[in-house]
């Protein structure tokens, strides 16, 4: 059973994972963790898309079986999850029998209904993109854009799926479900796309040209073609698990929204009589040097190298804080270091140490109970009241970067509060009023740090847990209750120190 079934796109196995893939996995994980914390039963799927021309070609070039390449690269994607803190429940591979069986069953169902038919395909075919091209895809001078690689004309009998027949249904569905695609401007693009008549979708390739696919159950001379295989993963992975389908959210990149996820997939499901997913989130791209990070552009960054150097949580924070979901974002080591140093090492890391250190020095390492306090305490509490509600609401609307911006503004305010109260001065005073204020200020610092760290849990689960550990805080109850200002820490014994975000060591040849 699940209330919230969430998926990532499944990655091609033609290259190792890069920051773009890591981002999608982490973004999906943050949403999954957030929903779990909000009380949903979450089911989270990711995986790899392993068939197709490119894998077949590189296998031939290397003189090894396609399955071997798929095994190697799929293992890299699978291993990335735990190293980035991803909490996926399952990892599907399109070469698994559980997937292939469902694809065959679906194809047969649609064939029996008459929604799949044999026709003749004639067209210009791009091997690199594994797709037939249309006249509108040409450059103004008649040549084919570079992204298609070598293009050749092909005429062959093939199987087609009746997309066109379902176009009016899809138009109506999108009109009724205005929030099907997030962000909204992307739904508008889908609606625009549907103003032109759809062509039926060619779903097969003759086996002699493409062996590395799933044979059609009604004609073994053909294998099914990219999208009819790949999209089905979302359904095949949970077909045997009652109560999981339909997906609540498919998280994908903007490049595969129109037409695959927003046109083919809903129509395939509707034609097969299967319930539709509730939504699609299309994120933007990580760019490097102005272009999309990709293996073919040769500008990839290995996410695991960064996670190893700085911690998975720092990478998670950077990717989620820096990117406005749906827009593109720039990646560079400098941008990463700027966030790491200012937000994590300075603001949060220092705060942790101030709390631990001062609680040790002035209260024997046990968090005092808070007294009434004054304006400074009231202001910080009021700020938290506004921040917490907004943070949760922003996360619910996929505005994670703004949520984190608010949360770190609160962290800065805690540091400001510490400066204002200056416990090191209060600690020198023999006045009873100062002693009471000292205790209140230590309690306030510890409590506000606890709240910030609890709020960070979906994004930085490990750091959040370590902060709880050094504060002597044992999370319990509902997350939204944990986010309420209270006296949970009174009497808790804190650790002497914690270096959460060590300053990077300047290495030869690297900017510090
Ligand atoms: N195999 C297809 C998806 C099939 S889903 C049924 C595919 N694979 S991919 O490996 O090219 O991309 C996997 C996901 O990573 C896609 O959602 C894609 O948008 C995303 N990214 C790949 N490069 C990216 C960036 N540079 N930035 C952000 N995400 C990008 O497409």
pLDDT per residue over 221-231, tens digit each? Answer: 999 978 999 99
Half-sphere exposure of 161 (CA within 13 A, CB side): 27
Q: From atom 2 of ligand 1, which residue's Cα is the shortest distance away?
A: 11
Q: Tell me what the mean pLDDT of segment 171-180 comes to.
A: 98
pLDDT top residue among 296 and 256: 256
- Please give the model's pTM, rounded to 2 decimal places: 0.95
Side by side, which strands form the sheet with 219-224? 204-206, 219-224, 215-216
Ligand 1: nearest atom to the Cα of 234: 6
* 24 CB near ligand 1 (under 6 Å): yes
User: CB within 8 A of 502, min separation 6: which ones?
Assistant: 345
Task: Please tell me the residue having the least CA distance from ligand 1 atom 20.
Answer: 253
Residue 259 resides in a domain: no
What confidence score (pLDDT) does residue 296 get?
A: 86
Q: Other CB atoms closer than 10 Å to residue 248's CB: what's the count?
A: 18
247 domain residue, yes or no: no
- Is the CB–ligand 1 distance for residue 17 below 6 Å? no
Whether residue 267 is contained in a domain is answered as no
DSSP classification of residue 294? -
In a domain, 212, yes or no: no
User: Computed over its alpha carbons, how large is the radius of gyration of the chain?
Assistant: 27
Task: Name the residue with the closest Cα to ligand 1, atom 25.
Answer: 20
| Cβ–ligand 1 contact at 252 (below 6 Å) | yes
Ligand 1, atom 23, lies closest to the CA of 20
DSSP-derived pairing of the beta strands 201-202 and 151-161: antiparallel
Query: Residue 75 domain-assigned?
Result: no
Nearest to 254 by CA among 178, 187, 163: 187
Atom of ligand 1 nearest to the CA of 15: 10
Q: Is the CB of 285 under 6 A from ligand 1?
A: yes
* Tokens at 18, concatenated: 């890069």
Reported residue count of the chain is 512
Gap between the Cα atoms of 429 and 420, Å rounded: 16
Split into its structural domains, the chain has a count of: 1
- Kindly state if the Cβ of 227 falls inside 6 Å of ligand 1: no
Beta strands in 162-218 (DSSP E): 181-182, 201-202, 204-206, 215-216
| Any atom of ligand 1 within 6 Å of the Cβ of 9 | yes
Please state, in angstroms and rounded to a whole number, the distance separating the CA atoms of residues 65 and 71.
10
Contact 249, 277 (CB under 8 A): yes
Instruction: State the distance from the centre of ligand 1 to the C-alpha of 40, rounded, in angstroms.
Output: 27
User: Ligand 1 centre from 94 Cα, in Å?
Assistant: 15
Task: Yes or no: say if 14 and 54 are a contact pair by the CB < 8 Å rule.
Answer: yes
CA-to-CA distance for 374 and 417, rounded, in angstroms?
12
Residue of 55, 253, 301, 330 to mutate, ligand 1, most atoms within 8 A of C-beta: 253
With the most atoms of ligand 1 within 8 angstroms of its CB, the residue from 17, 19, 20 to mutate is: 20
| Residue 22 near ligand 1, beta carbon < 6 Å | no
pLDDT tens across 68-119, in order? 999 999 999 999 999 999 999 999 999 999 999 999 999 999 999 999 999 9
Phi-psi region of 417 (alpha: psi -120 to 50; beta: other; left: phi over 0): alpha
In a domain, 449, yes or no: yes
**Residue 253 CB less than 6 A away from ligand 1:** yes
Residue 325 Cβ contacting ligand 1 at under 6 Å: no
pLDDT at position 216 over 60: yes
Say if ligand 1 is within 6 A of residue 11 CB: yes
CATH number at residue 371: 1.10.730.10
Is the shortest distance between the CB of 330 and ligand 1 below 6 Å?
Answer: no
pLDDT computed for residue 508 by the predictor: 52
The two structure tokens encoding residue 251: 């998280």
| 3-state class (DSSP) for residue 92 | strand
- Residue 512: the pLDDT is 43
* The predicted structure's pLDDT at residue 511: 46
Ligand 1 test: best mutation among 49, 86, 262, most atoms within 8 Å of CB?
Answer: 49
Gap from CA of 253 to ligand 1 centroid (Å): 6
Per-residue pLDDT tens for 375-396? 999 999 999 999 999 999 999 9
Q: What is the pLDDT of residue 510?
A: 47
Q: Which residues constitute the domain of residue 355?
A: 333-482
* Residue 383 domain flag: yes
Tell me, yes or no, whether 363 lies in a domain.
yes
Q: What's the pLDDT at 198?
A: 97
Task: Check pocket membership of 276 for ligand 1, CB cut-off 6 A.
Answer: no
pLDDT at 507 over 80: no
Shortest-distance atom of ligand 1 to CA 254: 19
Angle formed by the axes of helices 19-37 and 312-322, nearest 10°: 90
Centroid of ligand 1 to alpha carbon of 22 (angstroms): 10
């Amino acid at each position: 059973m699940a209330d919230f079934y969430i998926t990532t796109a499944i990655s091609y196995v033609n290259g190792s994972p890069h920051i773009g893939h890591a981002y999608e996995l982490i973004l999906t994980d943050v949403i999954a963790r957030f929903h779990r914390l909000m009380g949903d039963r979450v089911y989270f799927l990711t995986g790899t898309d392993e068939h197709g021309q490119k894998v077949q070609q590189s296998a031939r070039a290397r003189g090894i079986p396609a399955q071997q390449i798929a095994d190697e690269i799929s293992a890299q994607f699978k291993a990335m999850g735990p190293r980035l803190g991803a909490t996926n429940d399952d990892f599907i591979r399109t070469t698994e029998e559980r997937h292939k069986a469902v694809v065959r069953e679906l194809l047969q169902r649609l064939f029996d209904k008459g929604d799949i038919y044999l026709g003749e395909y004639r067209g210009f075919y791009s091997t690199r993109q594994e797709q037939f091209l249309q006249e509108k895809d040409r450059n103004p001078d008649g040549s084919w854009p570079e992204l298609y690689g070598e293009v050749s004309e092909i005429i062959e009998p093939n199987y087609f799926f009746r997309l066109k027949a379902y176009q009016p249904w899809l138009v109506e569905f999108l009109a009724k479900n205005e929030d099907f695609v997030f962000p909204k401007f992307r739904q508008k693009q889908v609606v625009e796309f549907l103003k032109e008549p759809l062509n039926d979708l060619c779903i097969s390739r003759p086996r002699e040209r493409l062996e590395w696919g799933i044979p059609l159950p009604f004609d073994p001379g053909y294998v099914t073609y990219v999208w009819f295989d790949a999209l089905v993963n979302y359904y095949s992975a949970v077909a045997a698990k009652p109560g999981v389908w339909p997906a609540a959210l498919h998280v994908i990149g903007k490049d595969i929204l129109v037409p695959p996820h927003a046109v083919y997939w809903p129509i395939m499901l509707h034609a097969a009589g299967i319930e539709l997913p509730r939504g699609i989130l299309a994120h933007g791209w990580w760019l490097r040097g102005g272009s999309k990070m990709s293996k073919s552009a040769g500008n990839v960054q290995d996410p695991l190298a960064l996670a190893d150097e700085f911690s998975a949580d720092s990478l998670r924070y950077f990717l989620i804080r820096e990117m406005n979901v749906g827009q593109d974002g720039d990646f560079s080591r400098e941008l990463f270091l700027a966030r790491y140093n200012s937000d994590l090492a300075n603001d949060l890391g220092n705060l942790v140490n101030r709390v631990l250190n001062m609680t040790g020095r002035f209260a024997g390492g046990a968090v005092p109970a808070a007294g009434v306090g004054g304006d400074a305490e009231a202001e910080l509490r009021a700020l938290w009241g506004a921040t917490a509600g907004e943070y949760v609401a922003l996360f619910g609307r996929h505005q994670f970067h703004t949520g984190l911006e608010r949360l770190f503004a609160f962290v800065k305010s805690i540091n400001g509060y510490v400066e204002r109260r200056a416990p090191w001065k209060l600690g020198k005073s023999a006045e009873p009023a100062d002693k009471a204020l000292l205790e209140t200020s230590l309690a306030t610092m510890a409590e506000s740090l606890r709240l910030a760290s609890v709020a960070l849990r979906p994004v930085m689960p490990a750091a959040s847990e370590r902060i709880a550990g050094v504060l002597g805080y044992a999370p319990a109850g509902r997350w939204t209750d944990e986010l309420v200002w209270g006296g949970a820490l009174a009497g808790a014994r804190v650790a002497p120190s914690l270096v959460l975000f060590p300053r990077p060591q300047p290495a030869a040849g690297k900017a510090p």
